[in-house]
Structure 1
């Protein structure tokens, strides 16, 4: 097969995989299991989009990597590979091992050299992933055993490697939060809570949010599951506006003036009747809301009340 034909096949596969993932998202299937990703069909053949054992996936008939993976790490455990932001604010993806010429690293290098889009599968739970795509490798840093990752077209324009000025770094970090951190936080929190509002038990995933207990950007406001609550959009807004609070004993408290109001059925049944109810908790204790964060947030609620 000619080089041009190889390139055309490669492009068709990447476009088909992206279209398939987009179609799933439109059907409210934004997460994919390892088994589902192994059953993708491309032009009559099964092509697994995720390597079941390795973090880097290169189908045998391609020259360059198709996808990368960040494995799920339970709360309190350290990931086997730590992908961090560099001085320029851009994310890094670590090599496989410490040999820059390992065949998986070579496959990633080819994707970088040919500016090919990749799919990044981020672990949300064991064998469950949130796809982020397209992403691109925009620099190779063999001394640090890592590649530089751009999460969108705007980040591809950033010159990697140098310390960015404050304004540019904030811009890059804002894009990273929008494209990666916020979707991953939402997916992990909703998965931990069984796609259920912790206050009212609504189960429509499209109507659920991941609310921070301590707001993002504040000390202890990390985007981790113990700093999150799965809330429907009504209760998320009520929580943020201090209409409701979550006490450290895990019970809902409605602000006193709101309890006295007379309004329609949403206020009566959706908010006032939640007063004193115990919130629903994740099955895994490690995913439960952090008590000290709840205490700090509840004090803010009391001050507002």
Structure 2
């Protein structure tokens, strides 16, 4: 068994490695095979156990990571809009449960892998398990550590509730929304087809600050940084028939190749749609947003 200092050093290095994977991969999802290639000082330490849903390396005294499955699983793990996860013990009283509880007792930082789609995960880290319920055989953990200081979500004040909602929307829902939108558009800008994920955003058609700005892929567009900024500032619009329109003021400007090729040449261009009909942008949403563009 490793010493606690050795375990904490490995956990810290795992977080560093995950940072690198996200920077290099555009920061939206990691395939399970990549998560099994992590090494520390030449020793391979898989970060994920897709068979169990909990990763407890033999030489660790407590849990390293837990995960949610893409499909419903027998342990019925639950997420909610407060940003908390309820994670069930495994059946029986084996070592996996002992190490999970020990992670809570020692406050050892873990990774929570949330399934984006089959085989692909978004990691939240470092996570500290906040509650252990041995009677209900569950632990509870916040996906954003600052939420733990607010206490029980059922007892939030109005101010705490608004703060929690802003955290959940910006730090929890948005990464998953981005992952699903970029996957739907094959990691390419729907307008210019640039294929570098690190240069892409998941743009909302109806802004998420409004009541109808749902974090569903049909309310999203994969846009490069330039076209996202232009879309948000009504310099670029997209019709319900999926055609690009450029603000008339920009069409008349003369200002070098970036304006000409990046925006003016896109006028009248048809966007590239996701292959899945369910993932295609909502025509109703585009119509509302295009009317705002026309009125600007």
TM-score using structure 1 length:
0.84
The residue that corresponds to 2:85 in the other structure is 92
| SS of corresponding position for 1:157 | helix
1:251 partnered with 2:247: no
Match for 1:136 among 111, 121, 128? 128
Aligned to 1:58: 56
- Please give the residue correspondences for 1:196-215 in structure 2 after superposition, counting only pairs within 5 Å: 196-215=188-207
* Corresponding residue for residue 18 of structure 1: 15
Equivalent of residue 46 in structure 1, options 44, 47, 65: 44
Deviation of the 1:104 alpha carbon: 4.4
Which of 203, 216, 227 is the aligned partner of 1:235?
A: 227
1:32-181 pair list within 5 angstroms:
32-72=30-70, 81-85=77-81, 89-95=82-88, 104-141=96-133, 146-160=138-152, 162-181=154-173
Q: Within 5 Å, which residues of 2 pair with 1:266-305?
A: 266-304=258-296
Moved more, 57-66 or 196-205: 57-66
Q: CA deviation at 1:72?
A: 3.8
- Give the secondary structure class of the aligned counterpart of 1:293: helix
Deviation, structure 1 residue 266: 2.1
In terms of mean alpha carbon deviation, does 246-255 or 143-152 score higher?
A: 143-152
Determine helix, strand or coil for the equivalent of 1:154: helix
Deviation track 1:167-222 (CA, whole Å, cap 9, x = no partner) reads 11222232333332222222221222122111111122222111001111323312
Distance 1:116 1:81 in 2: 21
The number of equivalent residue pairs is 291
Query: For structure 1, which runs of at least 5 residues remain unmatched after alignment?
Result: 74-79
TM-score after normalising by structure 2: 0.86
Q: Does the C-alpha gap of structure 1 residues 14 and 63 become closer, same or farther in structure 2, counting only changes over 3 Å?
A: same
Question: CA-atom RMSD, angstroms?
Answer: 2.6
State the secondary structure of the residue aligned to 1:261. Answer: coil
User: For 2:205 and 2:290, how far apart are their aligned partners in 1?
Assistant: 9
Q: Which of 8, 16, 19 pairs up with 2:5?
A: 8
